[in-house]
């Protein structure tokens, strides 16, 4: 596909995503933060459903050698980087998606967070230029490189090649695990709803339950 075609496809995809996220107020940060802090799962459930569909979709196409999986070495920096990111997104109250979406709604705080994401990236480029870690994509071998704290590259395609089992099999297993988490959340919600409705049967307790909500 030509460069212009790629950019156009990306723009159309982004526009629809921006519209859907704006209309649904989906937020990746809220999906994690609300589950941890408030035990509410509105966004968490949506995230899990999307991941189930994606896991089956991606591994299905990977099985037949189609699609464009990401290809680079991962290592301790992957864990550490997302750890730092996780703290940042909760503090900023926005992730990479919602900063763009909320900026589009006229939220200056989101634009501010975006600006400082850029500044953070530039600061990191200064540090990288001094110590060259984590390794640049051109020097990645796909093999573990313990000196650089790199574990190499592995995904559904390498599993299929190594074990001779179609990638979709692993995909279905992973989707199953995600489904178990999803169902546990539904049960938890049902239990809580049950408790509240039980309490509302008696007027005095009902008022208490409402106050507690």
Partner 1 sequence: MEFFKKTLDPVIALIAIAVLDVFLFMVVGAWTVGGGETMMTGLIAKAFMGDALNRLPFWQLVFVPTFGYWKIYISLGMLFGAFVGALLSKEFYLRFPRRLSEWVMTTIGGLLMGVGIRLAFVCNVSTFFGLTPEMNLGGYLAVSGILAGAWIGSLIYKKVLGV
Residues numbered 163 to 192 that lie near partner 1 (CB under 8 A) are 167, 170-171, 174
Contacts to partner 1 from residues 25-84, by CB under 8 A: 25-26, 28-29, 32-33, 36-37, 42-43, 45-47, 49-51, 53-55, 57-59, 61-62, 66-70, 72, 74-84
Minimum distance of partner 1 from residue 197's CB (angstroms): 22
Show Cβ contacts of residue 32 under 8 Å, excluding neighbours closer than 6 positions.
44, 86, 89, 90
Minimum distance of partner 1 from residue 207's CB (angstroms): 23
Residue 143 binding partner 1, by CB under 8 A:
no
Which pair of structure tokens corresponds to residue 10?
Answer: 């990306």
Task: Tell me which of 39, 40, 115, 188 binds partner 1, using CB under 8 A.
Answer: 115
Q: How many residues bind partner 1 (CB under 8 A)?
A: 119
**Residue number with CB closer to partner 1 (119 or 205):** 119
Rounded Cα–Cα distance for residues 175 and 33 (Å): 23
Q: Where does residue 40 fall: left (phi above 0), alpha (psi -120 to 50 degrees), or beta otherwise?
A: beta
Stretch that binds partner 1, among 114-122, 186-194, 199-207 (CB under 8 A): 114-122
Cβ(142)–Cβ(75) under 8 Å?
no
**Residue number with CB closer to partner 1 (80 or 207):** 80
Minimum distance of partner 1 from residue 198's CB (angstroms): 27
Positive or negative, the CA dihedral 59, 60, 63, 68 is: negative
Contacts to partner 1 from residues 147-166, by CB under 8 A: 151-156, 159
Cβ(61)–Cβ(69) under 8 Å?
no
Q: Where does residue 39 fall: left (phi above 0), alpha (psi -120 to 50 degrees), or beta otherwise?
A: left
């Amino acid at each position: 596909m030509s460069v212009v075609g790629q950019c156009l496809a990306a723009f159309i995809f982004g526009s629809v995503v921006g519209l859907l996220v704006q209309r649904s107020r989906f937020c990746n940060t809220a999906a994690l933060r609300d589950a941890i802090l408030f035990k509410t799962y509105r966004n968490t459930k949506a995230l899990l459903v999307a991941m189930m569909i994606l896991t089956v979709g991606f591994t299905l196409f990977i099985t037949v050698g189609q699609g464009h999986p990401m290809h680079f070495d991962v290592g301790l920096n992957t864990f550490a980087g997302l750890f730092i990111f996780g703290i940042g997104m909760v503090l900023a109250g926005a992730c990479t998606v919602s900063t763009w979406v909320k900026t589009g709604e006229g939220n200056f705080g989101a634009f501010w967070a975006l600006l400082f994401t850029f500044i953070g990236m530039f600061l990191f480029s200064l540090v990288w230029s001094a110590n060259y870690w984590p390794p640049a994509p051109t020097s990645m071998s796909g093999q573990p490189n313990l000196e650089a704290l790199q574990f190499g590259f592995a995904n559904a395609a390498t599993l299929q090649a190594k074990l001779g089992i179609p990638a979709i099999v692993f995909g279905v297993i992973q989707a199953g695990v995600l489904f178990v988490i999803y169902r546990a959340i539904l049960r938890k919600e049902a239990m809580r709803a049950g408790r509240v409705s039980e309490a509302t049967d008696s007027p005095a307790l009902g008022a208490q339950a409402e106050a507690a909500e």
